């Protein structure tokens, strides 16, 4: 399996039941080590099998150590989250990374007093698994919350307009027409009861169609379109509402009205949280909203690696094939992995008990998988559309930016292309995090391309520099040339949750059902955001632990039901 700079691989193989479930009476060694230390593998020839040596646990039992195997690149952080959780549960883990660095799409750079991110810039704690993971890492002191993060802008008629954050601000704002404002205000009444005749029914309705039904076309063009482009590089008409925004889709299913459902859900969540705080006063009140880390998002990836030794994390190692050879003993080294490495001229083979795959599905299709000696065809995996994206980092001297804006950033609707604007949006990086640039400079992170303009995403650095400079001049009054420019291109920045994305999820389900001990995680499955994809990795780790526990029980009691 060959990875590119953008789509690299992640597969992991894990071993490790909860130590509390083990007893010293076993007649044959369990599948996983109780300790976090790793047995040294043995190499036999160019294709010699690699197996972990037996070790002693604290309980005195003989334990054969195996691993969770991870192939990675652009989704590596999701796999690192899984590896961290497995390690924390006494499971030995090996992570394979095709690139020479960790982090995947968490890619931070520090240079000449500047700090910037070439991939994800922020994340949230919306997922419980992420909150728990951050607590385990003890990384809260490194979290950075943007200054004035609720000040976000949309372009309207060629100029920035502050996005209203409450109903009164919406009424006063000129971001929407009076007619659209009334549609928003009346939505809870018009959609008080779910009307099946007005909904899509088949679950394939587009994001644009869904919001147009509830709020009208103007809301789609000037609020939904830029948000979709800014968060996924996509467009409202090609994305599936059910897959791209499942929470909102479910609100309509439950309440009819999106706004009424959102209010009821928020009130319910507040009551639950209040009850939790009363029952557990030691729980800390968390700050809400997006955040990054000191030094950029790469800090998170670095922290996730702290429990991994040099032997656990194999950089510049490309997994080429996977082989499942069940021999009647569940999970007892059923998986073997063949990989190439810059450190050796020959292919290497290793054996594992389970695999967590986090590679993009476009790469999985290229992987050779065999099952009990027969080729396992992967032609059932459908073609997936990916959004390309260019990330441009620019700095301007503060005196050369005549209309600077305080806040998070600005999004550009597709409709504003008629006013000469060609970027998707810009983050005010040094406004959010003042330590990202010297005091005399503004640092901006601008995104170009996506499904809106695929060819433009592939343009040269010089052409993109002109486009970004032109847009920032119009929107912020930036004058002259930027003092610094950096360009990074992602050919497959995001998978597109299209209207037939059910086929993708069905393919993932088939992989997991037909290949025992194989688990898939990442942003192709449970959401595009960093938090959702990391939560997917944590859930996959839980499934691996359950699988290994069940397998060890089968070995312990082969004749029992």
Which of 286 and 162 is assigned the larger pLDDT?
Answer: 162
Q: SS3 of 178, please?
A: helix
Q: Give the distance from CA 74 to its chain's centroid.
A: 9
**What is the C-alpha to C-alpha distance for residues 521 and 506, in angstroms, rounded to an integer?**
14
Pair 395, 409 in one domain: yes
**Quick one: average pLDDT of 493-520?**
94
Confidence band of 171 (pLDDT split at 50, 70, 90):
confident
Instruction: Find, among 380, 455, 376, 382, the residue nearest to 422 by Cα.
Output: 455
Confidence band of 45 (pLDDT split at 50, 70, 90):
very low
User: Does the residue 123 lie in any domain?
Assistant: yes
Domain boundary among 214, 247, 271: 271
Confidence band of 285 (pLDDT split at 50, 70, 90):
low
User: Does the residue 327 lie in any domain?
Assistant: yes
Q: SS3 of 137, please?
A: helix
| pLDDT at position 509 over 90 | yes
Convert the pLDDT of each residue in 112-141 to its tens digit.
Answer: 999 999 999 999 988 899 999 999 999 989
User: Does the residue 299 lie in any domain?
Assistant: no
- Beta bridge partner(s), residue 520: 357
Which of 49 and 151 is assigned the larger pLDDT?
Answer: 151
Q: What confidence score (pLDDT) does residue 391 get?
A: 98
Pair 397, 469 in one domain: yes
CATH code of the domain covering residue 449:
3.90.660.20
Pair 338, 352 in one domain: yes
| pLDDT at position 337 over 80 | yes
Domain boundary among 442, 463, 495: 495
**What is the C-alpha to C-alpha distance for residues 535 and 512, in angstroms, rounded to an integer?**
18
| pLDDT at position 280 over 70 | no
Spatial contact of 77 and 103, defined as CB atoms under 8 Å apart? yes
User: Does the residue 279 lie in any domain?
Assistant: no
Q: What confidence score (pLDDT) does residue 179 get?
A: 95
Convert the pLDDT of each residue in 12-38 to its tens digit.
Answer: 333 332 322 222 222 223 333 222 222
Pair 396, 316 in one domain: no
Pair 379, 506 in one domain: yes
Spatial contact of 416 and 458, defined as CB atoms under 8 Å apart? no
| pLDDT at position 367 over 70 | yes
Count of structural domains, the chain = 3
Q: What is the 3-state secondary structure (H, E, C) of 383-445?
A: CCCEEEEEEEEEEEEHHHECCCCCCCEEECCHHHHHHCCCCCEEECHHHHCHHHCCCCEEEEE
User: Does the residue 155 lie in any domain?
Assistant: no
CATH code of the domain covering residue 350:
3.50.50.60
The CB density around residue 199, as the number of other CB atoms within 10 Å, is: 17
Q: What confidence score (pLDDT) does residue 195 get?
A: 52
Pair 34, 80 in one domain: yes
**In this prediction, what percent of the chain has a pLDDT beyond 90?**
56
- Beta bridge partner(s), residue 445: 393, 427
**In this prediction, what percent of the chain has a pLDDT beyond 70?**
78
Pair 24, 93 in one domain: yes
**Quick one: average pLDDT of 288-312?**
90
Mean model confidence pLDDT for the chain = 81
Q: What confidence score (pLDDT) does residue 308 get?
A: 83
User: Does the residue 488 lie in any domain?
Assistant: yes
Pair 390, 379 in one domain: no
What count of Cα atoms within 13 Å lies in the side-chain half-sphere of residue 398?
10
Pair 247, 327 in one domain: no
Pair 433, 338 in one domain: no
User: Does the residue 83 lie in any domain?
Assistant: yes
Pair 357, 483 in one domain: no
Q: What confidence score (pLDDT) does residue 44 get?
A: 32
Pair 371, 514 in one domain: yes
Q: CB within 8 A of 100, min separation 6: which ones?
A: 315, 316, 342
| pLDDT at position 39 over 90 | no
**Quick one: average pLDDT of 392-420?**
97
User: Does the residue 36 lie in any domain?
Assistant: yes
Q: What confidence score (pLDDT) does residue 554 get?
A: 56
φ and ψ at 418, to 5 degrees? -65, -20
| pLDDT at position 204 over 70 | yes
**Quick one: average pLDDT of 526-539?**
92
CATH code of the domain covering residue 243:
1.10.3110.10
Residue 127 to residues 132, 236, 348, Cα–Cα distance (Å): 9, 24, 37
Convert the pLDDT of each residue in 483-502 to its tens digit.
Answer: 999 999 999 999 999 988 99
**What is the C-alpha to C-alpha distance for residues 308 and 305, in angstroms, rounded to an integer?**
5
Domain boundary among 271, 296, 324: 271
- Strands (E) in 157-205, as ranges, are 159-162
Enclosing domain of residue 530: 11-102+305-383+501-556
């Amino acid at each position: 399996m060959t990875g590119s700079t953008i789509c690299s691989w992640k597969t992991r193989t894990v071993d490790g039941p909860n130590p509390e479930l083990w007893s010293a009476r076993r007649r044959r060694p369990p599948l996983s080590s109780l300790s976090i230390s790793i047995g040294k593998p043995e190499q036999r020839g160019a294709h010699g099998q690699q197996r972990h040596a037996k070790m002693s646990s604290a309980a005195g039992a003989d334990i054969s150590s195996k691993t969770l195997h991870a192939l990675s690149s652009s989704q590596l952080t999701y796999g690192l989250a899984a590896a961290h959780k497995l390690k924390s549960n006494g499971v030995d883990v090996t992570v394979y990374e095709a690139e020479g660095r960790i982090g995947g799409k968490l890619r931070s750079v520090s240079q000449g007093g500047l700090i910037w991110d070439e991939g994800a810039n922020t994340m949230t704690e919306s997922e419980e698994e992420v909150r728990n993971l951050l607590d385990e890492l003890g990384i809260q002191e490194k979290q950075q919350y943007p200054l004035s993060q609720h000040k976000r802008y949309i372009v309207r008629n060629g100029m920035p307009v502050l996005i209203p954050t409450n109903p009164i601000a919406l009424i006063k704002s000129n971001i929407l027409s009076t007619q659209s404002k009334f549609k928003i205000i009346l939505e809870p009444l018009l959609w008080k009861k779910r009307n099946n005749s007005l909904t899509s029914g088949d679950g394939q309705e587009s994001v644009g169609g869904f919001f147009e039904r509830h709020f009208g076309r103007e809301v789609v063009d000037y609020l939904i379109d830029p948000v979709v482009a800014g968060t996924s590089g996509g467009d409202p008409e090609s994305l599936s509402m059910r897959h791209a925004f499942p929470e909102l889709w479910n609100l309509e299913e439950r309440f009819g009205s999106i706004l009424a459902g959102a209010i009821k859900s928020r009130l319910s969540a507040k009551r639950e949280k209040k009850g939790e705080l009363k029952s557990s006063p030691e729980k800390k009140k968390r700050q809400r909203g997006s955040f990054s880390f000191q030094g950029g998002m790469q800090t998170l990836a670095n922290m996730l690696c702290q429990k991994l030794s040099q032997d656990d994390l194999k950089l510049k190692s490309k997994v080429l094939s996977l082989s499942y050879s069940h021999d009647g003993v569940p999970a007892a080294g059923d998986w073997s992995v063949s990989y190439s490495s810059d450190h050796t001229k020959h292919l290497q083979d290793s054996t594992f008990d389970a695999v967590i795959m986090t590679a993009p599905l476009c790469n999985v299709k290229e992987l050779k998988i065999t099952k009990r000696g027969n080729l396992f065809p992967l032609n059932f995996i459908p073609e997936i559309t990916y959004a390309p994206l260019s990330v441009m980092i620019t700095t301007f001297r503060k005196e050369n930016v005549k209309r600077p804006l305080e806040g998070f950033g600005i999004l550009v609707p597709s409709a504003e292309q008629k006013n000469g604007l060609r970027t998707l949006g810009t983050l005010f990086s040094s406004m959010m995090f003042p330590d990202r640039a010297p005091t005399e400079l503004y640092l901006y992170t601008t995104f170009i391309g996506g499904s809106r303009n695929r060819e433009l995403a592939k343009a040269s650095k010089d052409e993109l520099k002109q486009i970004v400079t032109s847009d920032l001049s119009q929107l912020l009054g930036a004058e002259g040339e930027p003092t610094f420019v950096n360009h990074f291109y992602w050919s497959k920045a995001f998978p597109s949750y299209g209207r037939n994305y059910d086929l993708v999820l069905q393919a993932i389900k088939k992989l997991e059902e037909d290949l025992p001990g194989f688990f898939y995680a990442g942003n192709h499955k449970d959401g595009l955001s960093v938090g959702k994809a990391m939560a997917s990795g944590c859930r996959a780790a839980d499934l691996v632990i359950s699988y290994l526990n069940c397998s060890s029980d089968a070995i312990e009691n082969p004749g029992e039901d």
